[in-house]
Chains A and B, each alone.
Chain A
């Protein structure tokens, strides 16, 4: 007797009959009927019409029947929300049942029903179940919080379930711990910024203890959670590694890979001289090899990850080449991955074996695989110089087989070998030319044409060969057309006498008969070069080519480091960071490897904070370009010029200004608030960055002298902070700070190229901001920035840009452009860079103004831990343009009355009360624009504490 009987129907109509059976008095019949309903549901039939009848069967003490009804409810409650309410009472009752199995089942099922009214009733039972005495109920309830969060995140937060869930991490039962971690991880994924899994050494210890005792799936959750932790020093990293290593012997491959992730990440912190480092490296190889004996699907994921691991730490698997040899009945997706790793592991020591294998593969049946194998031979030649000769002869053997796609593939790679080892293997050209006719793929044709053009002087009938291609010029793909054009020009430059006609022909084909702009442009360039200066043409066209690099297909180091943090995830399968493909762009937190810190070092310098700082402290990167679209109109990348634009800079502007026309708006906007009664230092206009120290206004210098304090040192400068991490800007890292020196503001930038390619064409632009900050000169990076190079630039700023109130007030949104892309980030500037040098108010004036400003504009702040006396504070503040107007002593307290003025003419008056012996002082601020007070206070605090 099997369940297939549930599928048989009668003529009367299935639903009708089921209805009758569901309402039957006999228990047995009822149960059979529910089973039939479930059976129909599993194959996708719609049985929602039976909802009330099935729900009626719910109140029963028969557990199987109950489970079946629950199964049905989960599937259909959404479509019948009103009916689903009928079930609530039974659920609530079941949550109190003495049998823990029923309690757990009820809370579990309720969480699966995505109907608001049911969710409301869920909160109370869930709260109880989270504290249930039975761990089975607790662990079920933990998962239920995640479900509820998915339905109604706000409710979960309001009800405080998240805190209860966090408490469960310290539960005595390892299974409860594992489920709590799993639930928190899932919730955290939709709230990347929330610090739900706030890990500290204590909680790590609890997780590590639970790790040994929970189920395999729980181990995966815990290991993935551990991988997000940044140990404070190498000792902690080592002790975690030691406790994670036993997981490498687990039978579940997902556990193994998650453990590998933790180890790969924490290894980064260990010193390479450590004995333990070597031991760990040795321990990593066997489990990775073992993954390759699992089912093919698991092998595939493992291989994709091994590909990353091999790039990061080639030493782990360098002796394991043989396990990557391909078996002929491996699925194709496994074969291709194995091949990739073989090339990565190829070295002088094993190249003979590898080549023999590759040659074997080149005779297999699967075309894709054979092609890749042939290409792999070429890559080996380029990677291992000693093997190049053997590779070339192997390729020639393969060309002899005359198998069409093998020949074509071989020619493509031989072209690369020629480029890597010029003037070494050209003897094979004759053999290649024999196969000219069989080439039908664009890439192979283009490669062959390149070879003929490049070595035209050695091929007697080069002109004939190229001419034969020219006949069908218009039917060729663009790739071939471009190559043919170049090759014929090369040929002409080498043998001008015989080929004049040919070159004429190709130039006219390219320029007149083609509608491909690339081809036309290239044609015109050659034409003009040849007609104006053939010598120069020769220098250009036949210039020495840069060598091609050894390793192809390497992942960029910054991306690789990020991907190492994602071992075992989808990101590792696609070799893309999750931000590149995760649905809906749920803000994904970028992960980075922890920096190497020795414990002794970190004890001395607590500042060496891990780069993986909590997201809150990370510089804000403006999330989506879409939000900024409106602002972008004012955010062009040309250097904005204040005052009369200099001729030179406007020329440059034409070159860089891609977005066009922000100039007028900048010119039109007179800085607001300037031009009051007091003298204003003119903003330093258009100071070229390369002139070194910006020239200050002579007048304000004088002013400084009269005030009697040398402000040459300038105001306080914060240390540089990373504004734009390399990961978010395709390898460009920007850190910087703001300075104010002798009346001029500048932005000190440090640009680092962490990508693999050279960066050029830098430009910078600011969005409109509260104080009209704008670059006073273009961003000048003199030489292209090569990989791993860093330049320091001081960018002078003016305060005459267009004004728009920002939130927060001192927010500055910046766009930086280079040859790769445009990047956006935002940063907060300290307000004291805006304090002008003539901010000292007359005593009488001060008194009058203080009275004049209404009291509700007064703000009071406490500055703690600032054990300075009045003298020291006063002189410190003065160097940042906060001037002491008067000083008096009231009841043993020093009162300093101070004034400062912002670049836009806003005056701020302050009263600073310092009590000798008390480290904190009180600051009262009065200003007509009270919104600046908060930021002025922050400026005070920074200045006084540094």
Chain B
């Protein structure tokens, strides 16, 4: 196996591109990010990385705006993400100036995915070690959520997770993403927090949340707001447990 994973451009006899698959392992080393597409809102939640004591917290960000109406969260190699984000930002502005319209979420996702794919097919270069969740609203008002991975594939999702415990979070979302769960903006945000709380240790203070509402710019929630929402969720959970207990005893 090892002789087929040296150069990126070599297929193995059974059709694997090992460097791309190994790049996907690098993504799993990043902390979890979750994206939820609501009716009038899109939500991105990330597990905050623990920051060194002397480090400025502001400079360790997993959620970045690509334009006023599009933002992304990534998981994987920090430096690779910076390059991808810069290229995407330039493309967003170039698009605005060239065709006088903001990019659609699909367009910018396709641009990022094409960039990533190019790096899986050139010699001497390794793939980008990041997966991205890209959310935003198109100018016709439709909310969108896309996910890209190191191989350069991209798909639209209703809700998805990437990073360290993505599988657990995705299973939670598959069970709990219902129309009534995303009925209101607040409910969609709480679903994102609930999904992250499945895998984040020590609760609300390790969660960062960003939302985009239709025709409004990106908003990063403050930690106080997140703590309030976490407290609400905890209370709901307790009420649920109480009700169950009462049901059992009657």
| Chain A complexes with chain B | no
